[in-house]
């Protein structure tokens, strides 16, 4: 085997290893995110939104924000649509928690919408 063929094979192997390691990092982060997301949603009670939001939920949201940013950096091109769906679910959870912290200042219709969003997130698990 001549040296050009050897270099070409070596470069191809390096590219393959690089691509698969990015994909595995994405998968690892995604699993961690989904697990924490599910645990966070399970802590919400649609009938007692304000009472169910505590330090655990706000800390979980901070962790989810960081994980989502890390996932975004590692999204493979063929997973972009799945990431957009993930971001939409994340935004819903974030809005629920932020509005739930101001529960007393919300109108009845807004409270109803938040309760419905909690139920919707729980049903998608």
Instruction: Report the Cα 23 to chain-centroid distance in Å.
Output: 16
Rounded Cα–Cα distance for residues 46 and 122 (Å): 9
Given this model, what pLDDT does residue 37 score? 94
Q: What is the pLDDT along the chain (125 residues), one digit of tens a residue?
A: 577 666 656 666 566 555 555 568 888 999 999 999 999 999 898 888 888 887 788 999 999 999 999 999 988 888 889 999 999 999 999 999 999 989 999 999 999 999 999 999 888 76
Do 57 and 44 form a contact (C-beta atoms < 8 A)?
yes
- Please give the model's pTM, rounded to 2 decimal places: 0.77
pLDDT score for 34? 94
Cβ 100 vs Cβ 49: under 8 Å: yes
């Amino acid at each position: 085997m001549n040296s050009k063929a050897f270099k070409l094979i070596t470069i191809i192997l390096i590219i393959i290893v690089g691509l698969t390691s990015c994909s595995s990092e994405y998968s690892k982060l995604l699993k961690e995110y989904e697990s924490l997301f599910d645990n966070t949603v399970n802590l919400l009670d649609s009938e007692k939104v304000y009472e169910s939001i505590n330090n655990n939920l706000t800390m979980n949201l901070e962790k989810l924000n960081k994980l989502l940013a890390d996932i975004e950096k590692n999204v493979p091109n063929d997973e972009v649509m799945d990431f957009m769906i993930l971001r939409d679910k994340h935004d819903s959870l974030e809005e629920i928690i932020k509005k739930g912290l101001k529960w007393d200042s919300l109108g009845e219709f807004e409270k109803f919408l938040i309760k419905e969003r909690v139920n919707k997130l729980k049903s998608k698990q």
